[in-house]
């Protein structure tokens, strides 16, 4: 299944307000340090082309959104999408999410963590690279406030089942998985991510759940 190319935004587009490199981040990641306000903060891990970031920030201006993308070209593309939309409540971070959650995201500070269609790393020897692993799940749970949400969507059944099992074993405070229903798209970009758009167009099953952290 072919993928559309990832294009960096034109040099004339100012990304200074919507793109940060890890080296330029504050010691603590919060709404105050990144946006200068106290709005609830949500983080997407693995933002890809930034469709969720642009849609969610536009639909929910009362919240702030940070997207973390390890692929620099994708991070720039996503930031370009935010810049063109002229959003003020979303910023892309180009870098690895794991050390950020380890060292810079305060405990019980996040409204939500979003992980949509993470790379499955099919080979057994590569599975340690998966975004959803024991270490990251514990980090996400620690970062969420009581009542905060973890959203997990994937079109890989094995990955989905393994993630649900890991959460049940090591993070029972996240509660039980709550199915999230498919919502009919109103236009061509009315999807959480480009991967959801592609999966639904090709009738590939998508497994969607959220967790709500217990108090």
Strands 207-212 and 144-154 turn out to be antiparallel
Which residues are annotated as catalytic? 119
Q: Contact at 8 Å (CB) between 113 and 41?
A: no
Which CA distances in Å does 200 have to 73, 121, 155, 181, 204? 25, 21, 10, 13, 6
Query: CA end-to-end span of the chain, whole Å?
Result: 43
Output the six-digit token pair for 101: 């959650």
Q: DSSP per residue over 56-98, as a string? A: HHHH-TTSEEEEEESSHHHHHHHHHHHHHHT-SSEEEEES-HH
Buried b (16+ CB within 10 A) or exposed e, 79-90: bbbbbebebebb
The upper half-sphere exposure of residue 150, i.e. CA atoms within 13 Å in the direction of its Cβ, equals 27
CA angle, residues 148, 120, 3, in degrees to nearest 5: 105
């Amino acid at each position: 299944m072919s993928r559309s190319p990832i294009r960096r935004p034109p040099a004339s587009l100012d990304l200074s307000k919507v793109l940060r490199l890890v080296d330029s981040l504050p010691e603590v990641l919060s709404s105050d340090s990144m946006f200068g306000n106290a709005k609830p903060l949500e983080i997407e891990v693995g933002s890809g082309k930034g469709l969720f970031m642009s849609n969610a920030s536009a639909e929910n201006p009362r919240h702030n959104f940070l997207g973390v993308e390890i692929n620099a070209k994708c991070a720039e593309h996503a930031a370009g999408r935010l810049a063109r939309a002229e959003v003020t409540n979303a910023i892309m971070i180009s870098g690895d999410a794991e050390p950020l959650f380890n060292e810079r995201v305060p405990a019980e500070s996040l409204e939500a963590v979003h992980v949509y269609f993470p790379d499955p790393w099919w080979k057994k020897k590569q599975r340690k690279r998966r975004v959803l692993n024991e270490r990251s799940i514990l980090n996400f749970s620690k970062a969420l406030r009581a009542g905060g949400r973890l959203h997990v969507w994937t079109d890989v059944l094995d990955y989905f089942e393994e993630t649900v099992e890991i959460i049940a074993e090591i993070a029972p405070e996240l509660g039980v998985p709550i199915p999230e229903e498919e919502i009919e798209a109103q236009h061509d970009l009315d999807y959480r991510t480009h991967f959801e758009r592609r999966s639904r167009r090709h009738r590939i099953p998508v497994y969607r759940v959220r967790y709500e952290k217990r108090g």
